[in-house]
Every structure is written in structure tokens, then in C-alpha cells.
Amino acid sequence: MLIRLGYDIQFRTLTPVPVVALLNVHPSREKDLVEPDRVHIEPEVEREDYTDSFGNRCCRFVAPAGLFRLSNSTLINDSGEQDAEDPEAPEMPVEDLPAEVLQFLLSSRYCEVDLLSNTAAELFGNSPKGWQRVREVCTWVNQKVLFGYGFARPTKTALDVYTERVGVCRDFQHLAITFCRALNIPARYATGYLSDIGVPPPYSPMDFSAWFQAYLGGKWWTFDARHNRPRIGRVLMATGRDAADVAITTSFGSTPLVSFSVVTDEVKEEQQLTAKTG
């Protein structure tokens, strides 16, 4: 399956502003790219591409005063299969976890593990350990939290989500991540493209999406407390402790958003033939 990925994001600034963008496909999916994956900046400015401490591809530049645009269109090969599952995947004792995984057991900017540890134990302490426990966390969050774009708030933490019971996709993931960490299951935040492939209409406007990964049986597995079902065509862009580590753009100054659009579409066979013969 081929999937067309892309975005067009425009900002307006009054003065030059340093910016870091995490808009590339994650290195783990680079082998699947059919076309180049490069952040286009208009007007053109000097840039630095680098890999951050979490292994994400980043682009650093100084946005000029006035209107500036970030855009890209690329093509990626996807298996067309749903998110992988393994109901037998076990939890690992903390003492056996790789050292680099331990940070994903700790509190972070949006995930207050210490404040929700007792709650996690009360809700899930008697659940079967391993995959089933993470699945129960996802189901609880999915059923208890109401989704709505109007509930978005950049300062909202996992405790806020638990208290208010409303949020957007990142809030669902933050609460699920916090519960997992409180149960000694390493969990990290993930962001990327998620298409509507295999999902019945009506469709919401396309956007970047959030999910999370839990470390079970010696590897990272994809979970999604917002949708709570395996999906097709999920394309990872970045992982981190929470949303603060993987913001699409981090601006060190004021950069009001002017317009924003994301594309994640399956390229049908007839479209491929047209492109080859056109």
C-alpha cells in the first residue's frame, strides 16, 4: 500500500524567531519512503538538520519576520496491516529493563506519575499483568474521557484529564501513559500520521495524531487510548516522554498560526498508473 503524506503550515511573525520542527518521518520508517522527505521552508533560510536525544529527526532554523511556510509531500510504502498485537506479551521486572527504558517510568511535564499512582493501583492493580493490563488501561481511558477539539488546552496534564474527563487525542494518551508508568510499565508518547484507511465515514478533518507505546516482552508496542482499536496506515514521526518532547514546532518567540492542513491518503492503483503514464 502506498500512502501520500504531507502538510502545509503557515505562521506570521513580527520579528525573527528561532524554531525547531519535528516534521520528518521517524528514522525507523525511512526505509519505506518512496520519495524524499524534506521540510520545505519558505522563504528559504539557513537550516540545521539533526537527530535529538530520543532519536527523532529535527530541523532547526530562524523564521524571518512576516509570513513563513513549512510544507512537504512525500510517498511511503506501508504494509496495509493493522497495528501489531501480542496478547501474550509480558511485563518485565524493573530490574531487568534496559537502562535507556527507565526514563519512561518517571514523571514528566504532562504525566504526573506520583499523583496518580494510588489511582492506578486501585483501578488496575488486580488486572492480569502484561498486554491485558495495558489494554484495560486503554479501554478505561477511552470510555471515561470525552473527546472534543474544544477541550484542547496546552497546559492540560494527565491529572487534569483524570479530573475533568474531557480532552483531545494527546490528553487520552497522557493519561494512559501515566497509568502505565504508575504500574511499572514503561510507556512513551508517540506522534505521526494516522489515516482513515479502513475506518467507516464520516471522517474528521485530517490532522497529525497522537498515540503511545508500551514496553512489553522486550519491545515497544503501539497502543491508542483515543481510538482503542488497531488501525491501518499509522506512520510514526517522533517519540518522547510526552507531548513536550515531540511538538510539531517549538518556537522561541511568538509565531501565530495562519493556516494548517495535513494530508494522509492511500494512493489507489489507478492513481499510480496515471502518475506513471501522465
Query: Are 266 and 197 in contact, with CB atoms under 8 Å apart?
Result: yes
Hey, do 2-80+248-267 and 94-244 end up sharing a CATH topology, with the first three levels equal?
Answer: no
pTM of the model: 0.94
pLDDT confidence of residue 270: 47
Residue 73: its pLDDT value, please? 97
Crossing angle for the helix pair 169-182 and 131-144, nearest 10 degrees? 140
pLDDT at 203 (0 to 100): 77
- For 62, phi then psi, to 5°, come to -110, 115
Task: Write out the chain's pLDDT in tens, 278 residues.
Answer: 999 999 999 999 999 999 999 999 999 999 999 999 999 999 999 999 999 999 999 999 999 999 999 999 999 999 999 999 999 999 999 999 999 999 999 999 999 999 999 999 999 999 999 999 999 999 999 999 999 999 999 999 999 999 999 999 999 999 999 999 999 999 999 999 998 988 888 777 788 999 999 999 999 999 999 999 999 999 999 999 999 999 999 999 999 999 999 999 999 864 554 444 44
2-80+248-267 architecture in CATH? Sandwich (2.60)
pLDDT for 272 equals 54
Regarding the domain delimited by 94-244, which CATH topology (the fold level of the hierarchy) does it fall under? C8orf32 fold (3.10.620)
**Among 32, 76, 2, 31, CA closest to 272:** 2
* Domain spans in the chain, listed from the N-terminal domain onward: 2-80+248-267, 94-244
The alpha carbon of 152 is separated from its chain's Cα centroid by a whole number of angstroms, namely 16
- The verdict on whether omega for the bond into residue 202 sits within 30 degrees of 0, i.e. cis, is yes
pLDDT score at 138: 98
- In angstroms, the CA 196 to CA 31 distance is 23
